[in-house]
Structure 1
Amino acid sequence: MKDAKYWHAGPRWLAGVLVTASAMAGACGAAAADAYPARPITLVVPYSAGGPTDVVARTLAQAMSQDLGQSVVVENRTGAGGTVAAAFVARAQADGYTLLIHHNGMATAPALYKKLSYAPLKDFEYVGQVADVPMTLMGRKDLPARTVPELIQYVTQNKDKVSLANAGLGAVSQLCGLLFEQSVHVRLNAIPYQGAGPALTALLGGQVDLLCDQTTATLPHIQADRVRLFGVTTPGRIKALPQAPTLQEGGLKGFDVKVWHGIYAPRGTPPAAVERLTRALQKGLKDPAVIRKLDGLGAEIVPVDKQTPDGLRTLLKAESDKWQPLLRSMKVEAD
């Protein structure tokens, strides 16, 4: 009977142990999730310090640091149109401590580089969108054309002479220029520069005729009347330049180009870490200091439903479908 007593008590005792162990495991898992982040996070920027993407990154990193309780350290890894940084993050340990902030280059790289070591749509987890930066189509100050219709006529009649600057392969200024060429059915003399700064300097100096660049760089020169502004590249007028018409108003139907930024983590990053980062991103984008800074750059914070993994995933797919066929049709690729 004694043996029978212990025989019947055994399973009940074992069940209790299992329940207790399960509860402890769940508590440990929750504690681990709550503990993230336990050390500083690195936010990798594909472009040089002081550039538009770097400014957005540093502004946001400071705000996210306050919410996360850990430093978000910005690290610049330049080269190959942003692919060096993207490849680095794609290969990084998927623990939530190495992130990437990138713009349209995530969508265009597969069409520009034959040997890309990562797949933008497959090798990352998505944290969320950040902000959109409108572009402006500008001409040198003494360009004969003054409106979009006049510009279309001018470039059509002088296509062999008109120069169109850009900030280099894969830059959004190049994409904007390609879309303009496609819209007016001409090929102009494209002149690439090593970055947006030199391209803008060339336009200000009258060395090139046209440039499409983002408001983060062009606003001061437009406001000082140093360039001829033809219009903004977004479907609607923008808060930073309410008096400026859109290119669509000027007759370029469907013209829509903007610089967009998103934050990514390596594929396999724990969902709890991604969710925590998304919350920090959303809170950071509500910070009055961040709003003021981005407003001053002409950037527009995206709606909260886009500050999410699904929002960024949807955008990247749509932008890939938009730009990759155009780049391939115009035979634009890296050497």
Structure 2
Amino acid sequence: MKLTLLSTAACMALMGGVMTQAQAQNYPTKTITMVVPFAAGGPTDTVARLVAQSMGTKLKQTVLIENVGGAGGTIGAARVAKSAPDGYTLFLHHIGQSTAPGLYRKLSYNAIDSFEPIGLVTDVPMTIVARKDFPAKDMKEFLAYVKANKSKVTYANAGIGSASHLCGMLFMTAIGTDLTTVPYKGTGPAMNDLLGGQVDFMCDQTTNTTSQIKGGKIKAYAVTTKTRLASMPDLPTLNESGLPGFEVAVWHGLYAPKGTPKPIVDALADALQVALKDPTVKQRFADLGTEPVADSRARPEALRAHLKAEIDRWGPIITKAGAYAD
């Protein structure tokens, strides 16, 4: 009887393995959904749409974007973590995937163990921008004005755990001034209110600010990278504008639910690499002030290592700042 039960179990396991292998070989056979944990129109949404279209061409299937915003990206993350590990639900998130464990006391998922990493996508600089009629003409005047009017100045962000929240938190720590924060469910809505003059300033990714800056619709004061951007060479760095050592770059990574078969993960990583070499994607990224990562970083093992290192990096910073959310 025991032998029969063992044989049955072995056969079922073998059949399951064969089915998984067959599914991986035929993958994909239907539309793929890429979840973006922020509102449409924001910087992460922009990156996702560019990559999804090109990946879809390589995979010969449509890759649809689904925006699941809220709670700094954790609602979208939880949604994907609970999805079937069949390669038909993907997740594109930014640096917030590494800050969530420190920011949120209770998460319904594990930022590392609940996902299969596919690869890094891009590193995006951030910019300090303000409404068009903000009185300061340069970063020196901006810092002086903000400190002198801290009770009136409003700072917009995309919610707890977002890149704009993290940048703002570090900015306020760097200048030793607490400002009124206005959270949104994404940087798209936040940018709309900045354009409308309802809020004073924000720190946002170049993928969301470049066209607005070049169009003269908002004021730009500085970039958060070590060196100036080739796309906006006249924009100084924060390091040269009175905040030495201030540096924030927003990396984006692509994930699948934990348990997604390795052949499918590898197929997705290959499609990602092809997408990041697509001339159209590269040009659009350049227009937005960023560029695709190198092939060696657009792989599962590279994202896994980077995510762990970033969690280790930001955890102590968040704890020191006392920035928590329930």
Normalised by the size of structure 1, how large is the TM-score?
A: 0.82
CA drift of 1:51 comes to: 3.0
Deviates more, 1:68-77 or 1:31-40: 31-40
Q: Which amino acid aligns with 2:319?
A: R
CA drift of 1:205 comes to: 4.2
Aligned to 2:211: 220
Q: Which amino acid aligns with 1:37?
A: P
Aligned to 1:333: 324
Give the Cα separation in 2 of the matches to 1:306 and 1:260: 11
Q: Structure 2 matches for 1:230-309, cutoff 5 A? A: 230-309=221-300
Aligned length: 310
Give the Cα separation in 2 of the matches to 1:98 and 1:197: 23
The match for 1:136 among 119, 127, 137 is 127
Given the alignment of the two structures, is residue 35 of structure 1 paired with residue 26 of structure 2, yes or no? yes
Give the Cα separation in 1 of the matches to 2:180 and 2:293: 35
The match for 1:65 among 31, 44, 56 is 56
Deviates more, 1:283-292 or 1:296-305: 296-305
CA drift of 1:206 comes to: 4.1
CA deviation map 1:159-185 (0-9, x unaligned)? 334332222222211111111111122
Structure 1: any 5+ residue segments left out of the alignment? 1-25
Give the Cα separation in 2 of the matches to 1:249 and 1:142: 24
3-state SS in 2 of match to 1:132: strand
Aligned to 1:121: 112
Aligned to 1:229: 220
Give the Cα separation in 2 of the matches to 1:250 and 1:230: 9
Aligned to 1:178: 169
The match for 1:48 among 39, 42, 60 is 39
Give the Cα separation in 1 of the matches to 2:135 and 2:298: 43
Give the Cα separation in 2 of the matches to 1:50 and 1:169: 18
Give the Cα separation in 2 of the matches to 1:27 and 1:118: 29
Normalised by the size of structure 2, how large is the TM-score?
A: 0.85
Q: Relative to structure 1, is the Cα distance of residues 241 and 93 closer, same or farther in structure 2, using a 3 angstrom cutoff?
A: same
Give the Cα separation in 1 of the matches to 2:266 and 2:238: 38
CA RMSD of aligned residues (A): 2.6
3-state SS in 1 of match to 2:238: coil
3-state SS in 2 of match to 1:261: strand
3-state SS in 2 of match to 1:125: strand
CA drift of 1:141 comes to: 3.9
Aligned to 2:194: 203
Give the Cα separation in 2 of the matches to 1:100 and 1:204: 29
Q: Which amino acid aligns with 1:168?
A: G
CA drift of 1:109 comes to: 1.6
Percent identity between the aligned chains?
Answer: 50
3-state SS in 1 of match to 2:255: strand
